[in-house]
């Protein structure tokens, strides 16, 4: 990952093992109280598609300070990085927390940092860190590609200064509740990044039907919509490459948390469910399933931890490791979630069982950044192949 620490979002603070354990315990306790299955279902099935509980979001910011964790200190944050974010994201994934945390704190905040635009960072990052601004990133269009070079949304200079955007963005996470949209659009200089605030003229957002109700997606239509250039014109391609890699790593951490919770549910059920006078966990077929699930969980966990360390240490192959972690965790989570349904048998196939919530999250997370094929192409690109 290129760029200096000030511009690419790599912070210098780091927490020790004891501090990380305390952070994990604090977040887990909070989510146990606020993100149980009933709360998740209520939000996931909400016809208004809000996608989160505003009260929980406020408490996450005010009581725990989670949104400011990885924002540099000069912008009001704590100055930590992905090793610390990983702990938080794993617990969020385990609890299936419905919130715009990843779009706002990772995709949007890291886009601002990677742009190197200090005035834009000073304007938006403090409120993102305080949780008073929900931000998201709008890159993909009808084809679902997160490659800025495929962008067809057009940006033209406005007569009174600034820019006007026209085009349609698809699959935008939490678009319906975002106060700030960071939008990729094509200028004469090439793909560029722009800030569009809620309520801007010509801006319309439509909720999309999704497999995973815990993370709503929206279609964003812009018609001569006023926008502010973020960073230099024509430099969004490298910025968004970096941010998509970091966003995939954030999703990987979430996925690790989710698949470990699936494994825990499966092991517990295998111990308590009795057939033919024996716990089903004593049968060889179930043992093999659980062993395979554990192996995949450990592999995904190791890949994600290594990638987070590589990003924090600015290792040369950090980008490739981040993409590899996303691929590994995506495949593992989908497999483990599907096997969780199988281990639970008949009850696992009912919508009333939480296994389906995890399976939907797994499938949606795997496809959010363009799908497995696009992820594998990204990995080859980051490896220089």
pLDDT tens for each residue of 92-142? 999 999 999 999 999 999 999 999 999 999 999 999 999 999 999 999 999
Which superfamily does 137-235 belong to?
Butyryl-CoA Dehydrogenase, subunit A, domain 2 (2.40.110.10)
**CA-to-CA distance for 300 and 323, rounded, in angstroms?**
12
pLDDT at 9 over 90: no
Give me the chain's average pLDDT, please: 94
Band (pLDDT 50/70/90 cuts) for residue 12 is low
Band (pLDDT 50/70/90 cuts) for residue 275 is confident
Are residues 215 and 173 in contact, defined by beta-carbon separation less than 8 angstroms? yes
Average pLDDT for 267-277:
91
Band (pLDDT 50/70/90 cuts) for residue 11 is low
Residue 33 CB coordination number (10 Å): 11
Are residues 225 and 200 in contact, defined by beta-carbon separation less than 8 angstroms? yes
Tokens (6 digits) for 62:
């005010």
**CA-to-CA distance for 151 and 168, rounded, in angstroms?**
10
Cβ neighbours of residue 125 closer than 8 Å, sequence gap 6 or more: 71, 72, 75, 76, 77, 109, 112, 113
pLDDT tens for each residue of 284-335? 999 999 999 999 999 999 999 999 999 999 999 999 999 999 999 999 999 9
| pLDDT at 129 (0 to 100) | 97
Strand partners, 18: none
| pLDDT at 8 (0 to 100) | 52
Are residues 82 and 10 in contact, defined by beta-carbon separation less than 8 angstroms? no
For the chain, percent of residues with pLDDT exceeding 70:
97
How deeply is 57 buried, as exposed, middle or buried, from its count of CB atoms within 10 A (0-12, 13-18, 19+)?
Answer: buried
pTM score of the predicted model: 0.94
Name the class of domain 238-382. Answer: mainly alpha
pLDDT at 7 over 70: no
Instruction: Tell how strand 135-138 and strand 217-230 pair up.
Output: unpaired
Tokens (6 digits) for 247:
């966003």
pLDDT tens for each residue of 20-74? 999 999 999 999 999 999 999 999 988 776 899 999 999 999 999 999 999 999 9
Average pLDDT for 233-254:
97
Instruction: Tell how strand 135-138 and strand 180-187 pair up.
Output: parallel
Place of tokens 């209520």: 42
**CA-to-CA distance for 223 and 202, rounded, in angstroms?**
5
- The domain ranges of the chain are 5-133, 137-235, 238-382
pLDDT at 209 over 70: yes
pLDDT at 1 over 80: no
Band (pLDDT 50/70/90 cuts) for residue 203 is very high
Which superfamily does 5-133 belong to?
Acyl-CoA dehydrogenase/oxidase, N-terminal domain (1.10.540.10)
Strand partners, 157: 163
Cβ neighbours of residue 132 closer than 8 Å, sequence gap 6 or more: 61
Strand partners, 136: 181
Are residues 221 and 170 in contact, defined by beta-carbon separation less than 8 angstroms? no
**CA-to-CA distance for 282 and 278, rounded, in angstroms?**
7
Residue 79 CB coordination number (10 Å): 17
């Amino acid at each position: 990952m290129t760029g200096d620490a000030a511009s690419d979002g790599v912070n210098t603070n780091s927490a020790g093992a004891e501090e990380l354990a305390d952070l994990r315990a604090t977040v887990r306790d909070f989510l146990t109280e606020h993100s149980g299955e009933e709360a998740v279902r209520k939000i996931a099935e909400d016809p208004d598609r809000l996608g989160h509980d505003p009260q929980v979001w406020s408490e996450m910011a005010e009581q725990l300070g989670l949104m400011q964790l990885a924002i540099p200190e000069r912008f009001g944050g704590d100055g930590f990085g992905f090793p610390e974010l990983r702990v938080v994201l794993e617990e969020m994934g385990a609890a299936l927390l419905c919130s715009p945390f990843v779009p706002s704190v990772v995709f949007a905040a890291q886009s601002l940092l990677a742009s190197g635009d200090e005035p834009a960072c000073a304007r938006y990052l403090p409120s993102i860190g305080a949780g008073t601004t929900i931000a998201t990133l709008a890159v993909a269009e009808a084809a679902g590609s997160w490659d800025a070079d495929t962008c067809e949304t057009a940006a033209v200079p406005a007569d009174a200064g600034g820019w006007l955007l026209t085009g349609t963005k698809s699959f935008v996470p939490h678009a319906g509740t975002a106060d700030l949209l960071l939008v990729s659009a094509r200028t004469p200089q090439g793909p560029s990044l722009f800030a569009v605030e809620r309520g801007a003229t010509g801006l319309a957002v439509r909720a999309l039907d999704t497999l995973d109700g815990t993370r709503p997606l929206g279609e964003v239509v812009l018609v001569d919509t006023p926008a502010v250039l973020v960073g230099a014109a024509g430099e969004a391609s490298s910025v968004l490459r970096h941010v998509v890699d970091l966003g995939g790593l954030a999703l990987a951490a979430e996925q690790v948390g989710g698949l470990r919770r699936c494994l825990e549910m499966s092991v517990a059920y295998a111990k308590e469910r009795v057939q033919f006078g024996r716990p089903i966990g004593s049968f060889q077929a179930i043992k093999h399933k659980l062993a395979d699930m554990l192996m995949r969980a450990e592999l995904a966990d190791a890949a994600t931890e290594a990638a987070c360390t590589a990003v924090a240490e600015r290792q040369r192959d950090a980008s490739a490791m981040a993409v590899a972690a996303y691929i590994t965790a995506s495949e593992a989570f989908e497999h483990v979630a599907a096997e969780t349904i199988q281990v639970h048998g008949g009850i696992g196939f009912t919508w009333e069982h939480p296994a389906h919530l995890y399976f939907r999250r797994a499938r949606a997370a795997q496809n959010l950044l363009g799908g497995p094929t696009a992820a594998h192409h990204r990995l080859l690109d980051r490896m220089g192949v």
